[in-house]
Structure 1
Amino acid sequence: MADKKSKLTLVELNKADLAKGRHVLIVESPESRRAVSLNVNVFSMGRHPNNDLILNDPLASRHHATVAWMRYTDDRLKSDYSYWIIDGKGKRKRSRNGIIVNGKKKSLHRLTSGDTVHIGNNIKISYSYIAYSTDNSQFLNYCNEEKAEYNPIFTNDKSYKETAIVDDPGFIEDTIVKD
């Protein structure tokens, strides 16, 4: 009898998967910090302008990594759907410098909330899954493709442009005008 092996298969991401919550990448670089909502089957990252996420790092390859929605089937025929990060375009087309996931160099990794991926010297990507609930529904709607307008729950007309952060508490006491 042949031994059945575990198997990864690229599958379609459907609306029911998105209704449960959002898969979010927080991408940090020296230039910016941004959130990217994953809502496609295949998401590419690298220096080349045709990628979904363009990475500005000299150690990043033209096509450095791929995030793909995949079905994992184990030898007991149990299936699991999740995003996986792949070094380069896969087995035969890896990136030059690889990806570091949670401190270890990997070529393939199933993403779970809290995972961090380092690319080159300057790119840090954090993965989070945010389950849909009434507490975060406004944020998740904001992450939709339609870019729904974000309206804060509390509205006030305060301006924070003049807010200063002071490390020395003595400075505050010296600047308070006393009657």
Structure 2
Amino acid sequence: MVTETNESHLLIIEDDQGRKEFSLENTIYSLGRDRDCNIRLMSQFVSRRHATLVRMQRGDSNGYGSYYYRIVDGDAKGKPSANGLIINGRKMPVHNLKNEDEIVFGPQVRAIYYLLQNTQLSRQTDEVEYDITLINPGMNEDEDIED
């Protein structure tokens, strides 16, 4: 029997327009208030190109298909944002994201990163098993039973 792990990467943004969820699958994302950003942050306190998310391949041998995201302050050309990034309460220019990391971009603008892992066991046979419980529609506990 083989065990596979499927990972899902999720970024939940809270800004002036409420809460939005982004499923991360691309290799790079731009975050900021500019209209051209992949993930737009709605706040006057956020830079036009505030941060960049970059997908990184894991280095371990058993991490086939496994990756993580690195967040970098500023745009992809190296220009930093005005306010920087506060990650888990510390100001940081770069951080490899881990499950439930909190990123603060400015007042009332934040994100939480989730790494969701779904472990599945794949079968060696093609046989499909179902667990089915059959209920007779005439069997209702609320009905009066006549003797």
TM-score (norm 1): 0.56
Question: What does residue range 19-168 of structure 1 map to in structure 2 within 5 Å?
Answer: 20-71=6-57, 81-89=67-75, 92-133=78-119
Q: 2:32·2:47 contact (CA, 8 Å) conserved in 1?
A: yes
- Greater C-alpha radius of gyration: 2
AA aligned opposite 1:21: E
Q: 1:58·1:120 contact (CA, 8 Å) conserved in 2?
A: no
- Say which SS state the counterpart of residue 20 (structure 1) adopts: strand
Q: Return the alpha-carbon distance in structure 1 between the equivalents of residues 20 and 119 of structure 2.
A: 22
**CA drift at 1:62:** 0.7
**CA drift at 1:129:** 0.7
AA aligned opposite 1:121: P
Coordinate RMSD, CA, aligned: 2.1
Which structure's residues are more often strand, by fraction? Answer: 2
The C-alpha deviation readout for 1:37-68, integer Å capped at 9, x for no partner, is 00100011101100011111112111000110
Which structure's residues are more often helix, by fraction? Answer: 1
Identity over aligned pairs, percent: 33
Q: Which has the higher contact order (CA 8 A, sep 6+)?
A: 2
Q: Which stretch has the larger CA shift, 21-30 or 112-121?
A: 21-30
AA aligned opposite 2:14: E
